[in-house]
Structure 1
Amino acid sequence: MIHIRNAREDEAELLSEIGVRAWQKAMAAIGEGDAMVDAARSAFFNFVASSWITVTLIEWNGHPAGWAARESLDEKISDFWIDPAFVGHGLGTALLQNIEEDIAAQGFDTAMMQTHSGNSEAISFFQKHGYAIHWLSIAYNPKLDRDVPSVGLSKSLESADDGTYGLV
């Protein structure tokens, strides 16, 4: 059973480890993860410990299985991580729908996110859910201490006549 809730302050270690496992899976396909795993682990922990209030956690049968964050509590999804051990149960779709509902409820008409340009699994996932790529860039990431090629994706959340959103 899927349960979505706000993260708690005492879950920083747990959430950072979920993030690291998901990040390692994504980076394995790109081939750059091994050299950066310690920096990534530190970045995840520091982020979750300081910004846990912006994190939404998804559980599968009582087990924490993934999380998403909106670091600035705006329309941008800053983090989206599903533990590889829990992929394939619809958790990503449920979590994304929850986050999009929060964004729309706060009056934003667009959801945005960015990911590594080589993260084809994430790009495909978001495109399957109505996101389109709008830009490509290479920018310095201070958390990882290196340049990272990224793509930006967005999706309209405008309401349809029947009260639903995201169908535009």
Structure 2
Amino acid sequence: MPVIRHARAGDVDRLAEIGLRSWQSAIAGLADGEKMRRVAEAAFLRFLFDHWLSVLLVEGEGAICGWVACENFDNAISDLWIEPQLQGRGFGGLLFAEIERRIAADGFDAATTKTHARNDRAVRFFRNHGYGVSWLSTAYAPQLDSDVAFIGLSKSLEQSPDH
């Protein structure tokens, strides 16, 4: 039975490994993931050292399977990374349901997220979980050292009865 819990400082290295492998899978065909590996790894470690308190993770069979974050403790889901060989097994859905529940409990009416527009698997995941496209833009992505088209998505959330 998978368990969702808050990340701990001691989880940072493992979370960075998962994020890096998932990121490399997500950018396949968009950029040379191996060439950008060091930059991306440093970015994951820096993010996680600075923001581990904003991270929820899911464990299954005694190992961390993935993680999600609301970097600014608001309604913007900044990260969702699932170990690539475990994708499609429901871990992302469990994390998303929990982070949405927490966002709604904090009084937000909607959740938002973004990804690069060519990340078909992520866009399909978000759409399957009720997210609709709210914007498209192009921005410089330092981890890829190039301009990238991004897609923003949002979903209305129901408030729990006690709010």
Shorter chain as denominator, the TM-score bin is over 0.9
Among all aligned residue pairs of Structure 1 and Structure 2, give the percentage whose two residues are the same amino acid.
Answer: 47
Structure 1 spans left out of the alignment, 5+ residues: 164-168
Query: 3-state DSSP class of the match of 1:28?
Result: coil
CA deviation after TM superposition for structure 1 residue 30, in Å: 3.1
**What does the per-residue CA deviation read over 1:14-50, in whole Å, with 9 as the maximum and x for residues that have no partner?**
1000000111111114344233221111100110011
2-structure distance, mates of 1:132, 1:119: 15
Q: Distance in 1 between matches of 2:56 and 2:98?
A: 9
How far the C-alpha of 1:144 sits from its partner, in A, is 4.7
Gaps of 5+ in 2: none
**Matched position secondary structure for 2:35:** helix
- Opposite residue 18 of structure 2, the aligned amino acid is I
Work out the CA distance in 2 between the residues paired with 1:3 and 1:95: 10
**Matched ranges for 1:41-56 at <5 A:** 41-56=41-56
**What does the per-residue CA deviation read over 1:53-78, in whole Å, with 9 as the maximum and x for residues that have no partner?**
00001111111000001000000000
Mapping 1:107-122, distance limit 5 Å: 107-122=107-122
1:166 alignment counterpart: none
Equivalent-residue separation in structure 2 for 1:58 and 1:118 (angstroms): 26
Contact in 1 for aligned 2:21/2:83 (Cα 8 Å): yes
- Which residue number corresponds to residue 39 of structure 2? 39
Counterpart CA distance in 2 for 1:147 and 1:30 is 11
Matched, 1:152 2:147: no
Q: Does 1:82 align with 2:82?
A: yes
- Contact kept in structure 1, 2:2 and 2:59, CA below 8 Å: yes
- Residue 138 of structure 1 corresponds to 138
Query: 3-state SS of the aligned residue for 1:107?
Result: coil
How far apart, in 2, do the equivalents of 1:32 and 1:93 lie?
Answer: 28
* Distance across 1 between alignment mates of 2:45 and 2:113: 20
User: In the alignment, is the contact (CA less than 8 A) between 1:29 and 1:119 conserved in 2?
Assistant: no
What corresponds to 2:15 in structure 1? 15
CA distance in 2 between counterparts of 1:2 and 1:61 reads 7
Change (3 A) 1:78 1:21: same
Q: What is the CA distance between 1:158 and its match in structure 2?
A: 2.7
- Separation in 2 of the partners of 1:47 and 1:140? 18
Q: For the residues of structure 2 that align with 1:83 and 1:99, how far apart are their CA atoms?
A: 18
Structure 1 residues 151, 32: CA separation in 2 closer, same or farther (over 3 Å shift)? farther
Specify the alignment match of 2:66 in structure 1. Answer: 66
Given the two structures, how large is their TM-score scaled by the length of structure 1?
A: 0.90
Report the number of matched residues. 161
Residue 143 of structure 1 deviates from its aligned partner by: 5.0
